[in-house]
Amino acid sequence: MSEGWRDRWVGTQVLRIWFAGPMSVQINPSILSADFARLAEEAKAVEGADWLHVDVMDSHFVPNLTLGVPVVESLSRATQTPLDCHLMIEDPDRWAPAYVEAGAGSVTFHVEAAAAPVRLAREIRAKGARASMALRPATPVEPYEDLLPELDMLLIMTVEPGFGGQAFLDIMLPKIRRTRALIDRYGLDMWLQVDGGVSAETIERCAEAGADVFVAGSAVYGTDDPAAAVRALREQAAAAAVEVPR
């Protein structure tokens, strides 16, 4: 796919948009599917990945408990790969800044749990990390359209958050498409991440719909060669990705 004019559906109308070339894609393995007793080695096993996805769960926002600030601090010293912390916790307004201080390069909070998402995104950015907001499957993007310029990434959950290894929710594809259209319409410099059930079977659908950052847990750590799985997923996503509008 090369540069040129393309017709793109935005809401109910077709717009002519100039496309500058293929979109760059990123693969973020989720250590939720790794061996928690060997986290440093498991992080090294995917050093070709763009980010390491770290799922923080508090057994309140989701019915599962994983890890917290001290583990993130140790992990950030154990790997060169930047950490993409996904906070599935209550009261992220209170706890998220500590994850930036612990070394996370990107911090994602859930909008359903945040009391003041704009203030929180600004605080995360001011502390030096990328600010990202996540939407559970039942949370629509449209009410948050005006907040998008405050964010470096939007995460669309493609399973109910809480556990790895769940089946991908195809019904999220229209939301991914609508979010990509919003990003293009406003010319925003932000990434669109998908998380949950992303695998060799589903990654192309996500890329075609407009996602450009792909979290994969079991599809990476459930294989004998996690680094090879990352490379294969990246090739698949890049081949299916839409082009970048200018």
84 touches Zn ion by CB under 5 A: no
30 touches ligand DX5 by CB under 6 A: yes
Report how far residue 138's alpha carbon sits from residue 133's, in angstroms, rounded to the nearest whole number. Answer: 15
Closer residue to ligand DX5, CB minimum distance, 74 or 166: 166
Tell me if 211 sits within 8 A of 192, measured CB to CB.
yes
Closer residue to ligand DX5, CB minimum distance, 49 or 184: 49
* Per-residue 3-state assignment (H helix, E strand, C coil) for the chain: CCCEEEEEEECCEEEEEEEEEECCCEEEEEHHHCCHHHHHHHHHCCCCCCCEEEEEEECCCCCCECCCHHHHHHHHHHCCCCEEEEEECCCHHHHHHHHHHCCCCEEEEECCCCCCHHHHHHHHHHCCCEEEEEECCCCCCHHHHHHHHHCCEEEEECCCCCCCCCCCCHHHHHHHHHHHHHHHHCCCCCEEEEECCCCCCCHHHHHHHCCCEEEECHHHHCCCCHHHHHHHHHHHHHHHCCEEEC
55 is catalytic: yes
Closer residue to Zn ion, CB minimum distance, 29 or 210: 29
Which does residue 102 touch among ligand DX5, Zn ion, none (CB within 5 to 8 A, set by kind)?
none
Q: Active site residue: 50, 55, 58, 152, which one? A: 55
Q: Which of 117, 196, 210, 226 binds ligand DX5 (CB under 6 A)?
A: 196
- Residue 130 CB, shortest distance to ligand DX5, in Å, is 17
- Residue 207 CB, shortest distance to ligand DX5, in Å, is 15
Q: Which of 23, 32, 34, 124 binds ligand DX5 (CB under 6 A)?
A: 32
The site string for Zn ion over 18-57 (x = CB under 5 A, - otherwise) reads -------------------------------------x--
Q: Which of 27, 215, 229, 233 binds ligand DX5 (CB under 6 A)?
A: 215
92 touches ligand DX5 by CB under 6 A: no
Binders of ligand DX5: how many residues, by CB under 6 A?
A: 21
Tell me if 156 sits within 8 A of 211, measured CB to CB.
yes
The site string for ligand DX5 over 101-140 (x = CB under 6 A, - otherwise) reads ----------------------------------------
| Chain contacts with Zn ion (rule: CB under 5 A) | 55, 86, 195
